[in-house]
A = this chain, B = another copy of it.
Amino acid sequence: MRQAPVTTIGFDADDTLWQNERFFRATEDRFLDLIADFGDRATLATRLFAVEKRNIPLYGFGIKGFMLSMMETALEASDGRLAPAVVADILAMGRDMLSQPVELLPEVRETLEALSDRYPLLLITKGDLGDQERKLVQSGLGGLFRAVEIVSDKSDATYARVFAARGDGPERGLMVGNSLRSDILPALAAGAFAVHVPHELTWSYEHVEAAVAHPRLFVEEHIRKVADRIEIINASGDDLTK
């Protein structure tokens, strides 16, 4: 009998299971309104992104780092004329984001419930530890996962380690996510399968310029199609697992 190639399924969280980028975009819009006096909107947006990117090694991913990068952008752009009200507004916007109720994407719960009957599921997400834990609790999805890994960054070593520790190794793992850069490419590099479920909003940092083709990569427009895709992969048997 042929072995099913995929035994363990990993899921990204932000913009795969629940809305995330939408709240960052809305906050960024409010922020750009706030500092509109200091330059044209497109330039300020570019500036914010440059600051965020520069700060990733220091702040990691998540809302607190975003707040600090907004502070820094406002400070630089204002050239010494930063009003205290802007600082107060940035703090308030960050607090709003950190208290934002979790909004599950359509059919996420049904899909995870169906899959969790047949496979151990892993949640693999980056961002602020406490904030991701809060969202997981609020989502009510926690009980569907064998393990939750909140990591500081998602590299091929991350996927190799997590699928080895929590499954049967990366070759028997499949990662589902919206970000080519963080979910798909490193999972493929680790030797896993990957299903890319694009989200209409994806942060510039997560964009990948070149089109990606890989024998273990599949693209689905909706998370509900992931279960069928896995059945097809597993029905195809061992020839896909080498």
Contact = CB atoms under 8 A, between A and B. Distances in A.
Contact of A91 (B72, B91, B129, B131): B72
A44 interface: no
A82 B87 contact: yes
A150 interface: yes
Given A60-B128, A64-B64, A64-B65, A84 B75 contact: yes
Given A84-B75, A84-B78, A60 B91 contact: no
Interface residues of A, number: 31
A162 interface: no
Contacts of A78: 84
- For the complex formed by this chain, how many copies does it contain in all? 2
A123 B150 CA distance: 16
Q: Is the interface of A mostly helix, strand, loop or mixed?
A: helix
Given A64-B65, A129-B150, A152-B129, A71 B87 contact: yes
A58 interface: yes
Given A64-B65, A68-B68, A129-B151, A75 B88 contact: yes
Interface of A: 58-60, 64-65, 67-68, 71-72, 75, 78, 80-82, 84, 87-88, 91, 94-95, 98-99, 128-131, 133, 150-153
Top-5 shortest CB links A-B: A60-B130, A82-B84, A64-B64, A130-B152, A129-B152
8 contacts: A58-B95, A60-B130, A71-B91, A75-B91, A81-B84, A82-B87, A128-B128, A129-B151
